Structures are given as C-alpha cells and as structure tokens.
Structure 1
Amino acid sequence: MPKQCVPRTSRLLAFMIGDSTITFARKYLCDYFSPIAPGAVIYDNGCGTGAVTRAVLDIYPELISSSPATPIHATDINAVFIEDFKELVASRGWKSTVHPAVMAAENLALPDSTVTHSFTNFLIFGVGDAPKAAAEVLGTLVPGGVAVMTSWATLPHAKALDRTRERLYGEHVMSHIKPEWFESSYLENLLRDAVFVRVTAFQVDSEMSWMGMPPGGWTEKDEAEWDRNREIYGAKCVREGFKVDEDGRVRASMVANVVMAWKG
C-alpha cells in the first residue's frame, strides 16, 4: 500500500464523508419519522462511524437515560470500526445505552422479534447476500416494527473514480457501482421480496467531501505517481460538477434514496 494511502479506519471514513450520512439520517428522522419513544429497541445495522446512532441521540438525548430503557444495538462486520465506535460511545457516556458489536448483516445474532426500529444506512450494497440481509432485518423486528434502508440516488464522485481508473489502469475497468443500485426501486423490491409491508420511498440531499485501491492491489508505481494521479482525479471531479476548496478538498452535492418498510 502506498505510504500516502491512509489505513481504512472509521476515522478515515468519517473524514471522507464529512457530515453527509449523519445529515441524511437527521433529515429523515426529523421529517418522515414518527417520534421514537422510551422503551424502543433500536438497531444500527452496518453502523460504520455510528451516524444513525449519533443522529438518534442528537434528536432524542433523553433516550440515553430513559425509563424504560431504550437500547441501541450498533453492529458492523469491520472490527476496527467497532473498536473506534466503542471509544466514541465511552467518551460520550453512552455505554449503558449503546451496545456496539462485530456482526455480519447476513447473520444477525440479535434475538428474533425484538427490534422496533432498524436502520441499514448505505450498507446493503456492501454485503455479500442482500436478500439474506433483508430477511435477517425482518426476522429481528417486532410485528409493526419499521425498517429503514438507504442508498445513493446520485453519487457524483463515482463517475470521476471510474474515469480516473480507466485513465490509470486501462479502458475496461468495471464500474464499482451497478446502475440499478441508484434506483429506489432496487431497495423497494428487496424489501417486498423479504415480505415487508407498507413499503414507501423518498429522497433527501446532502453534501460530501472525498480513488480507491486499483484492481489487483497497490503497486510501487502507484506510490511514486500518487500526486500526479490525485491531480488527474481532481480534474475529473471538476468536470463532473464538483467544487474544489482552497485547501484542495473536493465537495459534491449528493442525493440519497430512503426506503421505509414495516413488518406485518
């Protein structure tokens, strides 16, 4: 791995995405969601940096010490992300409420029919078996419980990444995002196939500031040409309508699909 490439940790993820994912979560929680009352059981599936958990507790700080208790289960398959999130939970005094754990979305260890509010935030396309993950979410929900899944409707940096990879590694590099993933209908059908009821979809927008490992892994050439390759990516971003700040950070407006579904 080139020495300029920062190791993939939740802190790096937080730096790259800025406030975009937590902004999305706050928006749909405030604008489309019924109030979450004490006694709920909340699940943050594929928590990453804990965006959903943080958004929930920003909006409902009373849940931290509510009676009855309002547990929040936050899981991710990445153990490094979970360790980082545990540090954040401890630093904010949330240990009695928020319970981070390493867990695969396709094999949830949560008890069946216990969760009232389940959030799968920008995760479903990173799992190996999306239908299995959706079925696992359904199984953990109580009857009448709500599941929220999100995906990107627009992702401006994706085209810039693909064009940069074509320039650097060949003209036939496969896009890392399938076109159908941008459609809310993908998530809607996924949830209907899992036998959810009352499936509904809407969109929210935000802003993100943000090239990934090439096919076959990093090489010494990638390290030697890092600055040049970064400039190429920046030029591609500008052509896709990005803004470049004075400090060199690249920003883009983004739109997310949000799909809500209830267990019958």
Structure 2
Amino acid sequence: MTAPFKPKQALDFDGALLQELQGDVSDTIAQQVLEELPPLTATSVVHDNGCGPGAVTMAMMRNNPPADNLTDNPSWPFKVETMDACNLTFPDNTFDYSFTNFVFAGLSDDGGAASHILRTLKPVGTGVITGAEMPWQIALKNAHYKTRGTEEPMAHFLSKSCYQKEEIERATRAAGWKDVKYVQKEAYLILGTDLG
C-alpha cells in the first residue's frame, strides 16, 4: 500500500497545529452552547465526547465550579477515558448531557457515533453535536480539484471538515434521534495581526 501524496512543505496535522488553527473557537462555542441549556446540577452526569483540549469541560467548570475550591483540592470531579466515539463502551442510559464539540468531521462513522450518543443518554438526556461552516474550506476544495482533478479522492479531513446542519441532521436521523433542535452560533478566528 502506498502512502497518500503529501507535499514536502505540508505541515504535519497534529493537535498543536489544530489548536493554533482553531484558536478559541471551540471554547467560544462550548460557552455559548452551555448558556442555552438548563444549568448543570450537582448530580448531572456529563460526557465531553472527543474532548480534545477540554473546551466543554473547562466551560462547565467556569459556569458551575464544584463546591470545593479547586486550589485547595486540585482533583476535579471528572475522569478521562480514551475510547472510540463511534463505539462508546459506556452503559446505556448513563449521561444527562453528552457534548460532542467539533468531532464529527473527523469520524469514520458519524451515524455510529450518533447512535452511541443516543444510547448512552438517559431518556430525558440532552445530546449536543457541533459542526462548522468555514469559508476557507471552499477554496481548499477548489484547489484540490484544480490540482488533482475530480477523480482523485479528497483528504479525509478536507472532505468532511465542513460538517454542518445537513450532515448532523442525516447522522442523527439515521441514529433515531427525536425532538432535534438546531441552533446557529458564531465564533470568529483572527489569524495574524488584527488591523481593525
């Protein structure tokens, strides 16, 4: 099997590069989404699915800090587990809330992930999936087609990176979600110097 084409000047796509490219967009959206929901309670069980740098968890901690002062007791009231978002191993009916913030674009089986989120939510639980519309994606896709043609497969990240309402709708419908509400939020990323 041959390795996919990668120009020598292309950067390795890793967590540090992603963090630089996304800035505080994940944090901003996580905060905005939490403001739309009823407040978490002391008994809420929350899943920060595909947490990355922990944007949702940190927003929850800012909005609903634990009763203990974290500087006096540095053990936060959460635990971290690594598992495939498309094949969660948590028991059924575990979570009051499940947040999947900008994760679906990188998944191989978004329908499976949506099914597992639904399965692991309590019957009155709330699942949140965020996606993004990024104007620069169109330019990157056009550059791909112009340089490689329409028959050459697009890089996985690029082909699914603009994961929007339509894709979320398709995945959640296929998974059997009911009473789905779509909310549009905005966050902006400034790369370089702000001349405004």
TM surpasses 0.5: yes
User: In the TM superposition, what is the alpha-carbon distance from 1:120 to its structure 2 partner?
Assistant: 1.0
Aligned equivalent of 2:63: 59
Aligned equivalent of 2:137: 158
Superimposed CA distance per residue, residues 71-122 of structure 1 (whole angstroms, 9 cap, x where no aligned partner): xxxxxxxxxxxxxxxxxxxx9x764422222210111121221111001111
Q: Does 1:22 align with 2:27?
A: yes
CA distance in 1, matches of 2:74, 2:11: 32
User: In the TM superposition, what is the alpha-carbon distance from 1:6 to its structure 2 partner?
Assistant: 5.0
What do you get for the CA RMSD once the two structures are aligned? 3.2
User: In the TM superposition, what is the alpha-carbon distance from 1:48 to its structure 2 partner?
Assistant: 1.4
Q: Does 1:208 align with 2:186?
A: no
Q: Secondary structure at the match of 1:56?
A: helix
Say how many residue pairs are matched: 185
Distance 1:58 1:178, change over 3 A: same
Distance 1:149 1:246, change over 3 A: closer
Q: Which has the higher strand share?
A: 1
Unaligned stretches of 5+ residues in structure 1: 67-90, 211-243, 248-264
Q: What percent of counterpart residues are identical?
A: 28
CA contact (8 A) 1:13 1:49 kept: no
Distance 1:51 1:101, change over 3 A: same
Unaligned stretches of 5+ residues in structure 2: 1-5
Aligned equivalent of 2:3: none
Distance 1:180 1:46, change over 3 A: closer
CA distance in 1, matches of 2:79, 2:87: 17
Q: Which has the higher helix share?
A: 1
- TM-score, with normalisation over the residues of structure 1? 0.60
- TM-score, with normalisation over the residues of structure 2? 0.79
Matches within 5 A, 1:1-264: 2=8, 5=11, 8-9=14-15, 11-30=16-35, 32-62=36-66, 65=68, 95-152=75-132, 154-166=133-145, 169-172=147-150, 176-177=158-159, 181-182=163-164, 184-209=165-190, 245=193
CA distance in 2, matches of 1:179, 1:50: 20
